[in-house]
Amino acid sequence: MKTIQARTEHTLHPLMAERWSTRAFDLERRVPAEHLQSMLEAARWTPSCFNAQPWRFLVCDYHEQRAPWQQALHCLTEKNQSWACKAPVLILAFARERFSHNEQPNRWAHYDTGAAMMSLVLQATASGLMSHQMGGYDSAKVRSEFAVPDGYTPTAIAAIGYPGASDHLLDEHKAGESAPRVRQPLSALMDQHGHWSFTD
């Protein structure tokens, strides 16, 4: 599969420009353990409030332990299952809701966990892997299937793997595999002079 390069308004590092969320994975191609470890190490070094590192990850590898991978897959919505069933690795991300040093509520936990996930997927890109983060899953089912303790909140499930064929995808998803990548213009997202009115 050919990488869909982002058409940016300003120069970006290739790692940023080449990262995109495919739905076409190769289930039979194993993700090397060293790549997974590097991805998790990248997440580990993400900055966080008070250096609390509130993120926790469950790595479900189809080629290592089939049962947890199946559990994770079945927590996804039906449409997500239709394509994520070809991703050899599913990573579940959780946020610890309280600071570990004083057990006070950590209102930045989800922000920091999202930042850690971005570090993880950028390292995946650097390793020649593709990723697709999902919010379409049953949070209660995740808690039940994986006996998630109180104080930890599911935040995302990420599919990781090498690119594969798109023939199994739903028609609506096939189109996205070759469509141009688009974003709002930079001018819609920020104002350098402090006059932004926060309107759409």
Q: How confident is the model at residue 1 (pLDDT cuts 50, 70, 90)?
A: very low
3-state secondary structure labels for all residues of 86-135: CCCEEEEEEEECECCCCCCECCCHHHHHHHHHHHHHHHHHHCCCEEEEEC
Average per-residue pLDDT in the chain? Answer: 92
Instruction: Report whether 36 contacts 120 (CB < 8 A).
Output: no
The model's pLDDT over 94-128, given as tens digits with 9 standing for 90+, comes to 999 999 999 999 999 999 999 999 999 999 999 99
User: Minimum mean pLDDT among 7-11, 65-69, 90-94: which range?
Assistant: 7-11
The C-alpha atoms of residue 96 and residue 104 are separated, in whole angstroms, by 11
For residue 26, give every residue at least 6 positions away whose Cβ sits within 8 Å of its Cβ, in sequence order, or none.
Answer: 86, 88, 161, 162, 163, 164, 165
Amino acid at residue number 36: L
Question: How would you class 40 by CB atoms within 10 Å of its CB: exposed for 0-12, middle for 13-18, buried for 19 or more?
Answer: middle
- Asked whether the predicted pLDDT for residue 189 surpasses 80, the reply is no
Phi, psi of 90, rounded to the nearest 5 degrees: -120, 125
DSSP 16: H
DSSP 10: S
Structure tokens at 150: 């109180």
Which pLDDT does position 200 carry in this prediction? 62
The C-alpha atoms of residue 161 and residue 51 are separated, in whole angstroms, by 30
The C-alpha atoms of residue 117 and residue 66 are separated, in whole angstroms, by 23
User: Minimum mean pLDDT among 117-121, 144-148, 163-167: which range?
Assistant: 163-167
Q: What is the average per-residue pLDDT within 151-164?
A: 97
Instruction: Report whether 9 contacts 186 (CB < 8 A).
Output: yes
Question: How would you class 109 by CB atoms within 10 Å of its CB: exposed for 0-12, middle for 13-18, buried for 19 or more?
Answer: buried
DSSP 28: T
Q: How confident is the model at residue 67 (pLDDT cuts 50, 70, 90)?
A: very high
Which pLDDT does position 194 carry in this prediction? 65
pTM attached to this predicted model: 0.91
Q: How confident is the model at residue 195 (pLDDT cuts 50, 70, 90)?
A: low
Which pLDDT does position 178 carry in this prediction? 77
